[in-house]
Amino acid sequence: MTTNTKRASLAPLLVDVAVPVGGYYLLKNGFGMSTLAALGWSSVVPALRIGWAAARERRVNAFAALILFVNVVGLLLSLVAGDPRLMLAKDSGVSSAIGVGILVSVALGRPMMTAGMKPWLVKGDAAREAAWARLAAGSAEFRRAEKVFSLVWGVVLLAECVVRVVGAYTLPVDTMVWLGTVILAVSMGIGFFVSGALAAGPMAHMLIAETNAETNEASKGVALARN
């Protein structure tokens, strides 16, 4: 996989997720902006992305729309101040918004987490890209695994939200300040493990098998042509 191909495959994910999320923390922690201001300015990229996609491609970019929605939720929740437990629970609003958005995308038959998973499985290889297209069009098992991957992450994020909200209102505030990070880290670990075992791993095997099968067919065609 060439460097340029790798960059091209990861560019949409970086623009839709890493830039706005990273921008929020940079503006808030690096430049000392208020939560309200940081959320507002970090919403600019997904908002522009949605407008550009709608004007040029005549479609709404799902990831950009979700990040924009999450920021708007955060802005609304940030308007409520004075309750430390509510401020701890506020961070769970991000997980719940993303989790709901992912589950809705699965229900609509357009699993949102595919955009983040595909570059790592295809690895910028043209043969794997073609194999993905064939499997997505003709393999019910492949499409089911694709949905399962997003379904797992949707459930994990919603579960993480519930646990953190319960903890915010039942445990001491000082405990939840550090425990919230632990809960998030454990949830991410569970998400990676379960989604990998149930979906990403099997999909990778199907991609490899499909790529090899196509390569073998092409080799046979060349051999017959020579004969």
Q: Which of 204, 198, 62, 196 is nearest to 132 (CA)?
A: 204
Q: Are 209 and 163 in contact (CB under 8 A)?
A: no
Name which of 11-20, 125-134, 169-178 the model is least confident about.
11-20
Q: What is the pTM of this model?
A: 0.68
Band of residue 30 on the pLDDT scale cut at 50, 70, 90:
confident
Looking at the structure, do residues 114 and 139 belong to the same domain, yes or no? yes
The total number of structural domains that make up the chain? 2
Mean pLDDT computed over 7-29: 63
Cα 144 from Cα 102, distance rounded (Å): 15
Residue with tokens 């990778």, as numbered in its chain: 204
Domain that includes residue 197, residue range: 83-227
% of the chain surpassing 70 pLDDT: 60
Cα 72 from Cα 77, distance rounded (Å): 9
Q: Which amino acid is at 94?
A: V
Greater confidence (69 vs 169) lies with: 169
DSSP 112: T
What pLDDT score does 58 carry?
64
Give the chain's radius of gyration (CA, Å): 21
Looking at the structure, do residues 105 and 199 belong to the same domain, yes or no? yes
Q: Are 195 and 149 in contact (CB under 8 A)?
A: yes
Name which of 54-58, 193-197, 219-223 the model is least confident about.
219-223
Looking at the structure, do residues 210 and 127 belong to the same domain, yes or no? yes
